[in-house]
């Protein structure tokens, strides 16, 4: 048995990993994000509640996406009629991540005035939480959704797994800021546990699940985002009496897939008259990436009439 108090992974930050409690019919995953989430959130000047919501979505996407057994992407999104219209976190199975939010400034200010710490339902209103699996252009995307419920996207995810996959699940997500010699930085973390159903050989798993949930409930937001607490130490604090192993840690990094060539390809998908309407006073087309906030200035002559690559437009 290797317990988590003895580190067995080179990665201690910006990672996603599975963990196993010795002899328990429970599987878990842990995510710690430092530079990756700071890059994503610092690319925008989001108000704190909006940044927190996107941080939760990114941590959740890494938790679930890092367990996928195929090459592709997992999209975690929520959309509703509240001040935040849309939040999207995009996780690639190579560990790359990006994300963005759309929100109404006036409505958000009113919501914050009414509640300085608005939750998911306050921000998103009535709407849906969606997980989408994308295995590439050769496959149809698969999608599941559930109504937005609760104060965080963790609650939405728990309802999603129960309703869509009939798997009892507990999720803990945390987002915060720390101050270092380099300034203020964003951090995020997440943990997930799921029970394996009982059978003839295993028997009932309800008692073990109750105990696991009770221990998991003691996990604090501060522990999830504190860079001085290693993943091994965090898990050891929770499950040291029974032995816990951290397995298969993989790196997370913020990478946007936008490029000048990709923007040009997207513009080529519009009719010529619509492209003409996009030209601004300086004679160029201006485009901004919602994910990383990069501004592109495109000469209409670059767009031309080349054949559109449908796969490039999709991705």
Query: Residue 186 and residue 196: Cα distance in Å, rounded?
Result: 34
Query: Residue 27 and residue 18: Cα distance in Å, rounded?
Result: 8
Q: What is the pLDDT of residues 235-260, one digit of tens each?
A: 999 998 778 999 989 999 999 999 99
Entry pTM: 0.88
pLDDT at 4: 44
Query: Residue 241 and residue 138: Cα distance in Å, rounded?
Result: 47
As to burial, measured by CB atoms within 10 angstroms (0-12 exposed, 13-18 middle, 19+ buried), residue 71 is: exposed
In 10 A of CB 214, how many CB atoms? 9
Please provide the DSSP assignment of 147-216 as one string. Answer: E--SSSHHHHHHHHHHHHH---EEEEEEEEEEEETTEEEEEEEEEEEEEPPPBTTTB--HHHHHHHHHHH
pLDDT at 3: 41
Which residue stretches of the chain have pLDDT < 70?
1-11, 198-203, 305-315
Torsion of CA 138, 102, 37, 16, to 10 degrees: -40
Q: Are 171 and 190 in contact (CB under 8 A)?
A: yes
pLDDT at 201: 61
DSSP annotation of 13: S
pLDDT at 196: 83
């Amino acid at each position: 048995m290797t317990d988590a108090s003895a580190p067995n992974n080179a990665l201690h930050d910006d990672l996603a990993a599975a963990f196993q409690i010795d002899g328990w019919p429970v599987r878990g995953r842990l995510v710690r994000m430092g530079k990756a989430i700071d890059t994503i959130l610092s690319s925008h000047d989001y108000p704190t509640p909006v940044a927190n919501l996107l941080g939760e979505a990114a941590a959740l996407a890494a938790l679930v996406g890092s367990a996928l057994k195929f090459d592709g992407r997992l999209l975690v999104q929520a959309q509703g009629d509240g001040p935040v219209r849309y939040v999207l976190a995009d996780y690639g199975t190579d560990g790359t991540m990006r994300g963005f939010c759309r929100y109404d400034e006036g409505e958000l200010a009113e919501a914050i005035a009414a509640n300085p710490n608005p939750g998911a339902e306050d921000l998103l209103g009535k709407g849906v939480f969606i997980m989408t699996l994308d295995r590439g252009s050769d496959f149809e995307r698969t999608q599941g959704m559930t109504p937005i419920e609760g104060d965080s996207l963790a609650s939405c995810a728990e309802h999603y797994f129960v309703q869509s996959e009939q798997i009892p699940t507990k999720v803990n997500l945390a987002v915060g800021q720390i101050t270092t010699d380099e300034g203020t930085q964003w951090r995020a973390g997440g943990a997930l546990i799921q029970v394996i159903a009982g059978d003839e050989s295993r028997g009932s798993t309800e008692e073990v699940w109750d105990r696991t949930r009770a221990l998991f409930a003691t996990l604090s937001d501060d522990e999830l985002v504190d860079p001085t607490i290693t993943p091994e130490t965090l898990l050891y604090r929770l499950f040291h009496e029974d032995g816990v192993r951290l397995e298969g840690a993989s790196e997370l990094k913020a990478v946007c897939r936008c490029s000048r060539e990709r923007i040009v390809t997207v513009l080529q998908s519009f009719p010529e008259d619509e492209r003409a309407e996009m030209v601004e006073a300086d004679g160029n087309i201006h485009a901004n990436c919602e994910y990383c906030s990069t501004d592109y200035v495109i000469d209409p002559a670059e767009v031309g009439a080349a054949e559109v690559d449908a796969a490039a437009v999709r991705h």
